[in-house]
Chain A
Amino acid sequence: MSRAQRTTKSVAKRIDLSYFKRPHPLRTWRFVLSILAPAAGLVWLASYGVARNDYVYSSGKMSPAHAVLAQKCFTCHVSRAASFRESALDRACLSCHDGPIHHSNQTFTPTCASCHVEHRGQLRLASTAEESCTQCHANLDTAGAPTSYARHISAFGAGHPEFAALRPGFSDPGTIKLNHAVHLKAGLKGPHGEPVQLDCEDCHRANQENQSWPYSIAPGSPAGETPKTVAGAVASVSSVNILPPSMNPARAYMGPIFYSRQCAGCHPLLFDKRFAESVPHDKPEVVHIYIEERFRTYIAAHPEELREPVLRIALPTKPVPVSPRIYKTPGEWVDAKVEDAELLLWEKTCKQCHTVLKTNSGLPQIAESRITPRWFQHAMFDHSRHRLVNCESCHTRSRTSQNTSDVLLPGIRICEQCHHAGATGAESRCFECHTYHNWRIQKEVTSHFRLADLVHEDKQGASQQDGSSGAAK
């Protein structure tokens, strides 16, 4: 029969009516894979379970500081008796870290994890959100007496007051008479009489050792004393020298000004034409002993000067003697020379920079210099990280300031030029300058973890069975 003669019936007869009884490959494969795929997932999770490793349930990458704990969930997630939940409680954090409170009069204390959010990837945990601070400081309420701090700060650019040192009524408490405008003038005479142009870095540098200062004096000179301040001690820690600049804490703040380092080159403390060296930059008592000793030694070596008539130094406060004077004894000669030298020092040389107070003891008293070593009492600043811009970009009044009382600290508006919200702004969140915890009252915490607990395969199973955790022990 030709295909042209085929009927519908004959075509229908080609169908195998039992086809549905045979397994269909597509459906078979779908069924098998539908069993295998979930089973593979379960096996994958079970493999973690067998190893007692809950890392698979982690909600994200740990911060670098806690990366080693990524597979040790129990170190932070504390189990509680009769509870399914295992939260990251403060006591887990406090088992390794101290977290001193912010202020004694704060109205509430946030939990550690509410500010230091983990499982957010490679972030610094200290880089807390602005809201962690503004939840209180946007509408500050305190327990007990009202606070003197600004009460409505919602961001660095919104409500943050001007820095305290720049507020009206505040001035530099320093007593050293320093005129920045004069010091930055062109054509000043240098240590050897040559004209020099001072720059900020000639006097102001971060705390660092082994620097040469252009206007210092040679070591060994009595005026070249070693800095005795705390800042000097920090700079002398030898380990600091091995740190790169970005990690060197000594580079954060400008070092204190020392006469020997910054001033002595141009301002020698000469006391008599017979001597080329300066007196020690020290208390009047020390200076007096030094001068007396120097003259006594000198006259012993030059007894002829007792008989040599010498004109006394002409000063406005003393009349020029009519006739030359001849000294009878070396002691008389020494007393006269010491008196002249001290008159020069107390009335002219020292007074150029210091406030010299008269006393009844004969020797004056030098007023405390009261140089402010750090202007920000509640914030941190790092000069090293701001070396991108020159000094005068921020310290705008330094070239024109004439009075010691001028505070040359840059104002908050200058900071805000770079530190503001938005993609083009430098970090402006609170943590950039402030810390929450009052580290003055921190306590040492001794961790109970052993290295093996953290770096080896999980062994916490036994310790977890009783519902306690490593952190909670």
Chain B
Amino acid sequence: MTLKKTLVSAALAIGALTGAVPALAQNRPVEIQMWMGLTGQGGELLSRFGEDFNKSQSEYRVVVSFKGQYPEQRAAAVAAFRAGNPPHIMQMFDAGSGDMMHAKGAVVPVSEVFKRAGLQFNAADFIPPARGYYGLPSGELLSMPFNVSTTVLFYNKDAFKKAGLDPEKPPQTWPQLIEAAKKIRSTNAAACGYTTTWLSWVMLEQFSSRHNVAFGTEGNGRGGVSASLQLANNPLLIKQVQTLVDMQKDKSFDYGGRSNDAAAKFISGECAMLTQSSGGLGAITQGAKFAFGTSGLPYWPEVKGAPFATTIGGASLWVFSAPNRTQAEFRGVAQFLNFLKSDRVMTEWAKTTGFLPATNSAFKAMQDEGFFTKNPGRDVPILSLISAAKGDNTNGYRFGRWTEIRDVYHEEVEKALQGNQSAADALRNAERRGNALLRAFERTAS
């Protein structure tokens, strides 16, 4: 072998080696980060969907991780966005939607993500309340509805029996609920009659929708960032807080804390009735050592047309934008979202967790196989969210800084429950403090 030949082959070998490095990199799947705010059964299932997707193809690899409850996760994602490296997909709860929608430049609408990837996407595939909640008037969807829920009433059938109440006739209206709760207390069938999780979500947001009452201007904030809260001159909202204050005195209602904490009071048997997200069904099924039933969110019968539809809860999936994001990454995001909205995934998700199917076709598939008739109670959230009467104020709301305003509402109502202020004052203060936050939001929203 001549020297020249040796040199050439050496050069070729080096060329082949260096060439091999990018080739290897190309074979490695594109990584898609998804952050979720669910633990327990729901979180495990969502992680498994990620693995299923990874097994189904080799181009992309989805990593689903839990970064804390929704508020903490949101904070982490914002910090990551500021550092230029947000997750590709973030699961964000209903209350955070207002903030996300006005974060133009930080998020890419899902309709757009699908379009760029050349994938078919029709907003009309999603159930109407979800479409209305997460979409623009143009019909474009900003985020993809995933875990859809609404408020329902869970009640302890054993405690009902013990109190001499009919366990197959759950209270439909507030007067009926109050009567049942008093009876449960007077017969000592349970230590407390009724409690609720998510005070603001249930007593302000869902309650208003149930009675088709506005709690803010401009279509509950859907018209723009200049909208304000209307709580102080809202007799029905005041009446509801007053009802809770009165019931708290004899423990026919017992306050159980701000977020999900009160669920434990129901599961342990301490409280006989609970208003909770329909997505809370899994934990109750696993934990409750008694027979329980499900019913719709109660309403005041004197309100004309009531009961109206409740509104949506749960969370949707947002796609983040970042300067260094490649087209391949966005294609991967679209592929994974497409996988998540498939009937197979949606029906398994809804059946296991108690959330509602987010797409019409999954809903229909579950109906066709008779899931709702075979599982009594599982149709309650559907009836409440989809079949019940619609009005001008049943389309949800859209306010910025809503997680913070929820806490303001919690603080003021807690003060009323402690007996330190009247129900009317609680709502007047909540309105004043909430509107101050909305004005600050308006100032920074583009």
Whether A and B are associated in the same complex: the answer reads no
